[in-house]
Amino acid sequence: MTTIKDAAAALRDGSLTSTALTQQILDRAVALNPALGAYVEITADAALEQAGAADTALAAGDDRGPLQGIPLAIKDIIAMKGAPTTANSHVLAEDWGAGTDAPVVARLRDAGAVFVGKSTTSEFACGLPDATKRFLVPHNPWNVDHTPAGSSSGTGIAVAAGLALGGLGTDTGGSVRSPAAVNGHTGLKVTFGRVPKSGVVPLGFSLDSIGPMARSAWDCAALLEVMAGYDPTDPNSAQQPVPAYTQLLDGSVDGLRIALPMPYFFDHEQLDPEMHDAVLTAVKQLVGLGASSTELDLPYAAEAKDANHIIMVSEAYAYHRNDLVSRWNDYGVHTRPTLARGAFYTAGDVAQAQRFRRFFSRQVAELFTSYDVIITPSAPVPAEPAAGLSPSKRLLTPSYTGQWNLTGLPAVAVPTGFSSSGLPLSMQIVGKPFAEATVLKVADALQRVSDWHLAVPPVDALAA
């Protein structure tokens, strides 16, 4: 399956047209979506119209950059013209965001991207799939009995299975990185404020971010170049310059200083040994390329996971409170108890979580005075069997992603191999505020000496 980088080159050398590429992607999406549940809606006519426009523009010498003519998936909590936004819920107003593009979608549209459709999300970006509702249940393309993770499930599936070349996810506690990890591709959680998030159904106001999902670090960098930057409609949008991310990917990690926080992240009793070993093997590859690594302690990682959860569900409850009271049964069976949990945290609980947030953020900032990146597993285990998932189980298992939403830092998940059962393994690279260029550079260096990110799941037999 091609990357955005390769497809962009083919579109410019004349060996491929966007119309042909988009039709191939659409045919594949229509055939596989019933089995995989990647899309809520496939916008075939609009996608082919965009593709035709991209071909015409390129033929006329109007080159808008590497995303021109590239088929993408848009997570279904992000407003997009020409398709409804449902948040995979019966609760959201049918006209929410109607006729508008969120700023991030508008930027991609202006860059000439093609939108395959609205991709499946966990309900309101927090619930597990509920088969009693009208939405397709998403499945992991490497093993359909296992979870594709969430909440950006559909974009993760689409990228892995070749139903899009890239797309958008949102990340409040790991919802870009977790699907990237278990579906076997690259996913970037950006610095809080790096990408404007107006036009997006909120989950946690002070935690939410929009991130690119694609096969490679280069592809994510190309997406981020278009997505990033200040927008006045988002009060949290940062007025920071946007680097030419793709031009900074030179394959060099010489002199890079890697911190490996061993307690919790590498020695937790629930950490899968194959995940542990694959990550450390990847670190050794980076050291072989000129980086250095140091094992150390980052205290209070477990408490940081809990603080992130307390803040997230409290902010989500504030948004959903009235609908939970009046429309309890319209929410999914797993979503409603997750959201309602916010009612049981006191003002004191939330205040303490916010106090801890400042403390932990300072602790991590101090660590970054001596190191360039922190590396951990992206998840404690490969994709779990879907039948065993529950909201309560989530509370009792470690998370390696929420700590970086709490601190607002950039973090990218990159593939590091496969388990003995054939499921993807993944490593997480965390950087300083607005150091997306650094984490993408490290990911790109690894992907120049490995090809795990290019593996394609054997899904053709599932075609309808």
- Domain around 230: 4-462
Is the predicted pLDDT of residue 329 greater than 80, yes or no? yes
pLDDT tens for each residue of 215-247: 999 999 999 999 999 999 999 999 999 999 999
Tokens of 199: 């036009």
Determine phi and psi for 414, rounding to 5 degrees: -130, 140
Q: How confident is residue 211, by pLDDT bands cut at 50, 70 and 90?
A: very high
Nearest by Cα to 114 from 2, 21, 209: 21
pLDDT at 388: 85
pLDDT at 394: 80
Please identify which residue in the block is written with the tokens 């609760």: 91
pLDDT tens for each residue of 70-80: 999 999 999 99
pLDDT at 391: 82
Count of the separate structural domains present in the chain: 1
Query: In whole angstroms, what is the distance from residue 375 CA to residue 77 CA?
Result: 30
CATH code for the domain of 428: 3.90.1300.10
Is the predicted pLDDT of residue 83 greater than 70, yes or no? yes
pLDDT at 1: 66
Neighbours of 131 (CB within 10 A): 9
Is the predicted pLDDT of residue 267 greater than 90, yes or no? yes
Beta bridge partners of 426: 415
The letter for the amino acid at 153 is S
Q: What is the pTM of this model?
A: 0.98
Which residues are the active-site residues? 75, 151, 175
Contacts of 13 (CB under 8 A, 6+ apart): none
Determine phi and psi for 170, rounding to 5 degrees: -120, 155
**Helix (H/G/I), strand (E/B), else coil: 119:** strand
Nearest by Cα to 407 from 120, 269, 207: 207
- Start-to-end CA distance of the chain, whole Å, equals 20
Determine phi and psi for 229, rounding to 5 degrees: 120, 155
Nearest by Cα to 97 from 109, 85, 105: 85
pLDDT at 395: 85
Q: How confident is residue 390, by pLDDT bands cut at 50, 70 and 90?
A: confident
Q: Which DSSP symbol is given to 77?
A: T
Is the predicted pLDDT of residue 424 greater than 70, yes or no? yes
Query: In whole angstroms, what is the distance from residue 429 CA to residue 199 CA?
Result: 28
Query: In whole angstroms, what is the distance from residue 37 CA to residue 139 CA?
Result: 6
Is the predicted pLDDT of residue 254 greater than 90, yes or no? yes
Neighbours of 44 (CB within 10 A): 17
Query: In whole angstroms, what is the distance from residue 357 CA to residue 351 CA?
Result: 10
pLDDT at 127: 83
CB half-sphere exposure, 353, CA atoms < 13 A? 24
Beta bridge partners of 424: 418
Query: In whole angstroms, what is the distance from residue 66 CA to residue 44 CA?
Result: 21
Query: In whole angstroms, what is the distance from residue 71 CA to residue 448 CA?
Result: 24
CB 65 within 8 A of CB 224: no
Tokens of 192: 């809080």
CB 328 within 8 A of CB 286: no
pLDDT tens for each residue of 270-294: 999 999 999 999 999 999 999 999 9
Nearest by Cα to 447 from 286, 295, 306, 329: 286
